[in-house]
A and B are shown apart, each in its own frame.
Chain A
Amino acid sequence: RKEVEQDPGPFNVPEGATVAFNCTYSNSASQSFFWYRQDCRKEPKLLMSVYSSGNEDGRFTAQLNRASQYISLLIRDSKLSDSATYLCVVSTWTDKLIFGTGTRLQVFP
């Protein structure tokens, strides 16, 4: 079983739609969780950290479910510019970050 698993997609959604991605992780001792965004042939950039109580940043909401060992990212009112690959990142007990393979989102007009 992979340490971090994501549905690769692509998720094709129209502008204005709400879309949600899930990511599961295998190490119950994980402490840090992030969502990164990566545009095609570019470097990953931090979208948001994920906190136990859940957190929101504008149209983006991240949630953590420790019992079921998954994190989620919800994007409301999708824009064309949201088209990218979204990487789920989780720390391990050794403090190392494990990157998921990413979920590709394509927003169409």
Chain B
Amino acid sequence: DGGITQSPKYLFRKEGQNVTLSCEQNLNHDAMYWYRQDPGQGLRLIYYSQIVNDFQKGDIAEGYSVSREKKESFPLTVTSAQKNPTAFYLCASSIERQSNEQFFGPGTRLTVL
């Protein structure tokens, strides 16, 4: 079954700790994205990658880092520099371009205590 997986579904961390969210896809998509969703707000783009070993900042990249060593994987690290990390994090992928249909993983709900 083709799709995008994210783990874990729920994550709790203490303030000041870095945490890495996993995202894997077996759709053979070139492009992958990370968004965060906060109540009452639209999805906001954190980082995206259109090809292995290359990625670009989105609108709210501060306090986050990513890597794209494999086509299938695009992990996101939420660092202690992120001022308000508690949110719902969604990973997505698409064929080639951002403006193509994007497929989403089930999301990770991060709570920083």
Contacts and interface: CB of A to CB of B under 8 A. Distances in A.
A4 interface: yes
A22 to B, nearest CB: 16
Given A31-B99, A96-B99, A45 B104 contact: yes
A86 interface: no
A91 B90 CA distance: 18
A95 B41 contact: no
A32 B42 contact: no
A42 interface: yes
Q: What is the interface residue range for chain B against chain A?
A: 20 to 34
A72 to B, nearest CB: 18
Nearest to B109: A41
A8 B45 CA distance: 21
20 contacts: A8-B40, A31-B99, A41-B109, A42-B106, A42-B107, A43-B106, A43-B107, A44-B43, A44-B104, A45-B104, A46-B101, A46-B102, A46-B103, A91-B98, A91-B99, A95-B97, A96-B98, A96-B99, A97-B98, A98-B42
**Which 7 pairs from chain A and chain B are nearest by CB?**
A91-B99, A43-B104, A99-B42, A99-B43, A32-B99, A101-B42, A95-B99
Interface of A: 4, 8, 31-32, 34, 41-46, 49, 87, 91, 95-102
